[in-house]
Structure 1
């Protein structure tokens, strides 16, 4: 992507479409980790296995859960976190990297924890604790410049929508400052953007291999048009997250727009797979269900913090 700078009238600083070196290196490192761990095998082959393809120790030993912490007045910007989250989302790995990264960035109590940390996201009738079903995980009670602590994950019903997130339902949400809520929304949306990019890549591979009437189905004009539309959706989502990450007044708007475009792209991916797209074994539903879950969470965050 070509760097494009423009003046932000509300703050006076120059914006760029690209993350800084921190974000570029982080996204590259995470992308390489995901690629080596999964070899881009179908998501369905590993997402429900008892042991994820990337262990928590591999994440912690490399310090990825600490990637957002401020040290010596330098740290990843929100734009950098968007790039890192997108690279992580491409793999649909059932590990609490992003909740831990955000919690340790935004809560002093969470930074004292060696293991994984998560938080409780608001829903209309309670909260959702991403990876609350993971053994040994703790929950930050507040994110942002407000006092909080970490507690054990509450007992609750397992979430049936986001199967990658392995969440549980809880009665009380974590308290967020408006700034923290915006950053969480953008990172969650960037994660599902990575999933949308994965579904698009899988769809392109599928239509070039699948044949009908002696020709790859990707050669049919209707299929080309659908995939072109999905490509535009994914690019629009990416642009919206860049915009939202650098203009805080538009953070929720950009995140919601991005997730909606990702859902559109995912639905096209299911469609171009034909009847196979609806089967559990193909696994297209794993990123799609996460998108639907994130959509409702960001909507609630915006309601609570606009």
Structure 2
């Protein structure tokens, strides 16, 4: 199936419909309380429906929908606050799809037989070196993914990327405010490098990571705003719905406008060609994750007293938003890098209109 021959909205809606049956308020509370059964059910469902193979080429058992496909799936996962290592696994499968030596690993990932992990902070790559035989790391590495992941992708100082096998016995799960995704530590010395990609692969992985963080944040923003507006229609004060109060309507309208703007930046990142892909993905993650934080924070307030309770889902969206904001690189660092990208592009004679094309 061609990457440009599918309806993104239909794909998002189909994933959201399935997740709606699996993730109700009680399920989210169980996840927050540390119950892993919900995550296992969702992962099993994703395996059976082929979500993990969305972006992978048909030659390797996927649907060939590329970056647009995995971004659509991640957007739906974010809207539902779906737990599990979907983001790093989708990113790894998409990247390894282009590696001649990555076939067996891709097969395991798309089948859901294994998951992957990636560094939570890509700045760590400045402290990791690989000379073809010896991997040198700064001790413990903070990773994003399931502690029992079988594989991880590790960017190194040269810009290359290592595919490593992990030993789950060497990992240590960390507590996080967002219980729907996992962070863990692992000693670099316990990683077993399997194959190394070329000097462009680390940048390619970062592009995919940023793109999926933006998609997840966009889905979460849309979902919590929709819930908030619905609540404002039925919650009454002074004998009328609070959604009829002009000040509150303006706050909701401003959030909606922010989300539309952020969505366009994310779409630009998906559609951009290689020369400007890094520039747009950095701007997309920074813009959309900040919109998610702002929308979730406003949702807590617009729900009134109930928005502050453990039983309500507002805090779950805010926690996911805050983790998305922190992952990969800080938003200020991303904007600085995007500014440098822009200067470099203009210096090579690229027209401003080409950057937005």
**Scaled by the length of structure 1, what TM-score is found?**
0.80
CA distance in 2, matches of 1:206, 1:96: 31
Question: C-alpha offsets along residues 94-114 of structure 1, whole Å, 9 cap, x if unaligned?
Answer: 122332222222232631425
**Structure 2 contact 92–153 (Cα < 8 Å) conserved:** no
Question: C-alpha offsets along residues 10-44 of structure 1, whole Å, 9 cap, x if unaligned?
Answer: xxxxxxxx964064553233122112323x54774
Unaligned 5+ runs, structure 1: 1-17
- 2:118 corresponds in structure 1 to 120
Query: Which of 16, 29, 54 does residue 31 from structure 1 map onto?
Result: 16
Q: How does 1:1-306 map to 2 (within 5 A)?
A: 20-21=5-6, 23-38=8-23, 41=25, 44-48=28-32, 49-52=35-38, 54-72=41-59, 75-107=64-96, 108=102, 110-113=105-108, 114=111, 115-123=113-121, 127-133=141-147, 136-142=148-154, 146-153=161-168, 154-170=170-186, 177-247=202-272, 248=277, 249-299=279-329, 302=334
CA distance in 2, matches of 1:43, 1:223: 30
More off after superposition, 223-232 vs 146-155: 146-155
**Structure 2 contact 85–145 (Cα < 8 Å) conserved:** yes
1:253, distance to aligned residue in structure 2 (A):
1.3
**Structure 2 contact 213–289 (Cα < 8 Å) conserved:** no
**Counterpart secondary structure, 1:137:** coil
- 2:129 corresponds in structure 1 to none
The root-mean-square deviation of aligned C-alpha atoms, in Å, is 3.2
CA distance in 1, matches of 2:256, 2:89: 31
Distance 1:239-1:47 versus aligned 2 partners, 3 A rule: farther
1:227, distance to aligned residue in structure 2 (A):
0.8
1:121, distance to aligned residue in structure 2 (A):
2.1
Structure number having the greater helix percentage: 2
Distance 1:46-1:210 versus aligned 2 partners, 3 A rule: farther
Unaligned 5+ runs, structure 2: 97-101, 125-139, 342-357
Distance 1:211-1:116 versus aligned 2 partners, 3 A rule: farther
1:180, distance to aligned residue in structure 2 (A):
1.5
**Counterpart secondary structure, 1:156:** strand
Count how many residue pairs are aligned between Structure 1 and Structure 2: 286
CA distance in 2, matches of 1:252, 1:30: 26
1:304, distance to aligned residue in structure 2 (A):
9.1
1:224, distance to aligned residue in structure 2 (A):
0.8
Higher-Rg structure is 2
1:91, distance to aligned residue in structure 2 (A):
0.6
1:182, distance to aligned residue in structure 2 (A):
0.7
CA distance in 2, matches of 1:212, 1:264: 24
Distance 1:213-1:42 versus aligned 2 partners, 3 A rule: farther
Distance 1:197-1:291 versus aligned 2 partners, 3 A rule: same
CA distance in 1, matches of 2:178, 2:48: 27
Higher relative CO (CA 8 A, sep ≥ 6), structure 1 or 2? 1
CA distance in 2, matches of 1:285, 1:224: 22
- 1:8 corresponds in structure 2 to none
**Structure 1 contact 85–190 (Cα < 8 Å) conserved:** yes
**Scaled by the length of structure 2, what TM-score is found?**
0.70
